[in-house]
Structures are given as structure tokens and as C-alpha cells.
Structure 1
Amino acid sequence: MEQNVVALAEQVAVEAAREAGAAALRLFHSGFTVREKDASGDLLTEADLEAEQAILTQLRSVFPDHQIRSEESGWSGVKGDWLWLVDPLDGTNNFAIGLPVFGVSLTLIYRNEPVLGVIYDTAQDQVYIARKGQGAFRNGKALHIEARLNPGKLTLGWIQGHQVQHDPRAGLLRRHIEANTKRLMRLWAPTLQWAMLARSTIDGVVLYNSEGDDLYSGLLLVKEAGCVVVNFDGTPFTGMNPEPFLIACPPERKEALLQLVQAGLELHPLQRT
């Protein structure tokens, strides 16, 4: 039964993601309204809302008994074994300033474990699919992580949550990593950064307390492509966590990245309450 649900969910999620992406791209080229969503300065555009509606309409039609948590509308449906996480426009701030780096993210969770992730890189028309235990794919072609050349000149991705924007520990760790790598990237579109790691165009991702509707599709994608995903203390990351601190990379990079991050944390250790 579970595999049948996931197989159908994949078809629906890909179709919904493409429809949402098409709606966003149309508005990106024709014009759209934008406003601040909250005190943090995060933005909301009409594309977020139109894309979200396209996705929710399809999910509710096919899976009326599944619960949904969506970026803009929050929770809906009845709690059960199945949960959809929806980010209809990952990269809203990029979208709002005219930077074509944004996408769509859908994740299906079964009993607190991600089993399907679909990411649509809208501007590049690239569909990424990850199925738990069945691999990762870009436009139907399997993805297999590879360690790149020049191990001493790593290019890493950095992802942080809105709530840590002014956290001095995050800033100190970020600067430490920047000083000891070739480049530290911040795309403002996390799912597309995970996609870069899955296709081996960056060497790893460091995530500092950024849990949200766009997280688990990317984590499943890189895991199924062959990455390891560990907590800052080096223990494997599984399931879900409302306050994740993570490193993701090819297995042979794990020790070097753990040492890099832990050295930065020693300058200003994390204080857990």
C-alpha cells in the first residue's frame, strides 16, 4: 500500500510542481505584486499564492485524507500517517528582485520519515525526484554524488533560518568557513542548493537551524544521490527535527567538514536551552 501511494504521489507532485512553476514564471515575466510578510522582512508575492493554490488543489483532490503543511497557508487536513510539506515558491526574495533562481518543493512524509521529494528548478526546467531507497533523479537521469577535484579548495553551500539572521554564533561560524574554503554560497533558494550538491557541482552544504517546508525534499535528494547527512556532532541525521544543525557532503568529505565546522563552533559554542 505504501509503495502504491508513493508511486501515485510522485506523478501528482511532478504535475503540481510544474503547474506551480509555470504560474510563477508567467508572473515573473509579466509583473506581480509584492509585500513584506512579517517583521523579519521576508517577502510574499502573488506568485507564492497562485503557485500554492495550484498545488493544494491537486493534492486535496487526489489525497483528501492526507495532512498538508504549506509555506503560506499553514496546516490543513487531519493528522495521520501521511503529511505533505509544500513550498510553492522557494526563493521568493530572488523572485521579487528579478533574479531567476527559484523553484518548487514538495515532500511526502510517512510516519515522520520523508519518502518522496520533488524539486522543480523553474527557470532551468529541471525536475528532481528522490524516492526513499530508490535513488535520486534529474529529468529522469540518475544522480550519483562524486567528490570533486581540489579537496583543499572546497565550494560549500550555506543555509540558515530567518530566526538566526542576527545570531552572532551563526555569523562567526559562517565567517570561519568562508576563511577556510574557496567559496561559501548563499542562494536564498535552499532546494536549488541541495540540487547543486546532488549533481556534484558543490562539495557540501552546512545548514544552521533552518527547518521548513523546503528542507526535507533536499535532504532526501542528496541522501539518495549518495551523500551523508550528519548533525554538527557527527551523528547521522534521520527523520525530522524542528531545529536542525547539519552537514551534508560526499562520504569522503565528512571528516574534513566536521573538523571545519567544529573548529568554528569552538570559537563560540552553541548554547542549547
Structure 2
Amino acid sequence: MPNQALDNAVSALMRETAEQCLLTHYRQLTADEIISKAADDVVTVADLESEARLAEGLARILPEAAIVGEEGCHADPSLMDRLADRLCWIIDPLDGTNNFAVGKPPFGILLALADRGEILSGWIYDPLQQRLCTAHRGGGAFVNGERIGARSTGQEPPVAAISVIFADAARRAALMAHIAPHYALVDIPRCAAEQYPRLALGVNDVSVFERTLAWDHAAGVLFLNEAGGRAARPDGSEYRVDRHLEPGLIGAASPALWDDLAARMQAI
């Protein structure tokens, strides 16, 4: 399917799903509609409804592609094996669930299409701002249909959002001791659907991620790289969705900012 036709179909599905499955529940959740999945990690009825609708719609758009959704993998981890398939849809039906559950932004939907572990296309939708970020490998990055180029904040020191939620105590201490002093730290949004646009749109300069699950990062990595920034493993290798359980990922608004941070990371 041509990229424009694919964009039209996917964006319509994302907007419809956000309207009917997310915004209808936003700030309306009852206690029994919020379920703990793990420590500091919840799922809501909105996540489940959104994933079901997205999976059904994506199966119509590209029936030959496998479907790997965050909540589906939580129920059946063997589904993650499909990330290496010839074609695979990757779904985060509600990124930023912890924010959504307490009635605050940011939150969004993340979708990606991969081929044998390589990311082909990505979509990031923020329902409150109605901001749709799209990217196709080799085709550039777009926000609401307008091509964009990644830009830094221009601040000195650069602005960094460093996620230590999933880092162990030693790793957290090393990041704070050896990386943090070189940057102006800001809070992480706990939402990749917000963090990657911040890196491309001049809000943040760099980010460090410890956990790199495909549904959280596939769309954002492609979007940032296609915008002219850089997202890659700390050793410089490409992020692949079929290796998403490996830790460590750096995102930056420019290759130069990425290089500076990666060099510092190698020392810890």
C-alpha cells in the first residue's frame, strides 16, 4: 500500500479510536476500571478497548501483517516472537497510562509497522493536542502533514530527560553522578508519545531510556531519525524491534548531541 494511502487509513483509525475508546473514559474512570499490572504499572479499560479496536482496524488495512499489542503481550508473552515476522503491526493502545489513570496529560497512541525487526513506518497521536506525527523509512518526518526537521533547544547546558524508572540502583546512581551534571534536567513525561516529539520539536535535547519495549519506542525512534535527530543504542547500533528486550537507548535532537551523550555514557 502506498505511504499516503496507508497514512490516511491509519490516521483515521487512530483518531476514531482515540475519540471512542480513550476520550470517552478520560477523567471518567472508576476504581474498578484501573488494574495493577506490576509495581508502578497499571492498565485501564481504555487500554483494552483501544487495543481491540486498533487490532481489528489494522487487520483490515494490512491483513498479511502480524499484530503485536502491549496488552496482548502482557497476556501472552509468546506474541513477542511475532516481532521478527515478515510484516508486523506494533500497538501501544494508550501510552502514558499512569498519567491517563489519574486524569492528566500527556498520553497518546503509538503504532508502528515493522519488517523482520526493522521499523518501516510509525505514527504517534496525541488526542488532546490532535497532533499526529508520522514517519516512513527514508521518507522524512511529518507533524499533521507538514514536514519537519529536528531542532535543538539551543540552551547550554542542553536539556535532558533521563528515565531511571527501570534502572537498578547502581545504574541510577551512575547516571546521576556522571551524566546529569552536564545537562539541565527536566522531568520525564512518562509517555514516549510525548517524549519523542519533544526531542524533535525543540523542547528537549537528549533522553536516556533504560527499558526499550517495541510498543513504546518503535514509532518514536523512526520519527526522530527521519526528522534528522538520532535514536540508537548506546553503542551506536540500530534499534530493532526484534531485540526490544535489550536495555539502553539514547535519543537526541541532533547527531552531535547524541555523540556527546554517548561518549559520556561509555564512561559509566
- SS of equivalent to 1:217: helix
TM-superposed CA distance for 1:237, in Å, is 1.8
1:105 paired residue number: 110
Rounded to whole Å, the distance in 2 between the matches of 1:72 and 1:191 is: 17
Q: Percent identity?
A: 27
In structure 1, the gaps of 5 or more residues are 266-273
CA contact (8 A) 1:112 1:239 kept: yes
The amino acid that maps onto 2:41 is D
Q: How does 1:1-273 map to 2 (within 5 A)?
A: 4=1, 6-22=3-19, 23-32=21-30, 33-38=33-38, 40-74=39-73, 75=79, 80-150=85-155, 152-159=156-163, 164-165=166-167, 167-176=168-177, 177-233=179-235, 235-240=236-241, 241-242=243-244, 243-249=246-252, 250-263=254-267, 265=268
Q: Deviations over 1:148-205 (max 9, x none)?
A: 323x321112345x7x35x123312332333331114311111210111121211012
Rounded to whole Å, the distance in 1 between the matches of 2:187 and 2:40 is: 21
Rounded to whole Å, the distance in 2 between the matches of 1:77 and 1:212 is: 12
Rounded to whole Å, the distance in 2 between the matches of 1:51 and 1:230 is: 29
In structure 2, the gaps of 5 or more residues are 74-78
The amino acid that maps onto 1:224 is E
Cα 1:244/1:237, change in 2 over 3 Å: farther
The amino acid that maps onto 2:67 is I
TM-score, normalisation: structure 2? 0.86
The amino acid that maps onto 1:173 is A
The amino acid that maps onto 2:264 is L
The count of corresponding residues between Structure 1 and Structure 2 is: 255
TM-superposed CA distance for 1:14, in Å, is 1.1
TM-superposed CA distance for 1:46, in Å, is 0.7
- SS of equivalent to 1:73: helix
Cα 1:94/1:48, change in 2 over 3 Å: same
- SS of equivalent to 1:26: coil
1:268 paired residue number: none
Rounded to whole Å, the distance in 2 between the matches of 1:135 and 1:169 is: 38
TM-score, normalisation: structure 1? 0.85
CA contact (8 A) 1:159 1:210 kept: no
Q: Deviations over 1:208-246 (max 9, x none)?
A: 23223121100000000001233223x242433221422
Rounded to whole Å, the distance in 2 between the matches of 1:184 and 1:262 is: 22
Rounded to whole Å, the distance in 2 between the matches of 1:17 and 1:174 is: 36
Q: CA RMSD in A?
A: 2.3
Cα 1:149/1:68, change in 2 over 3 Å: same
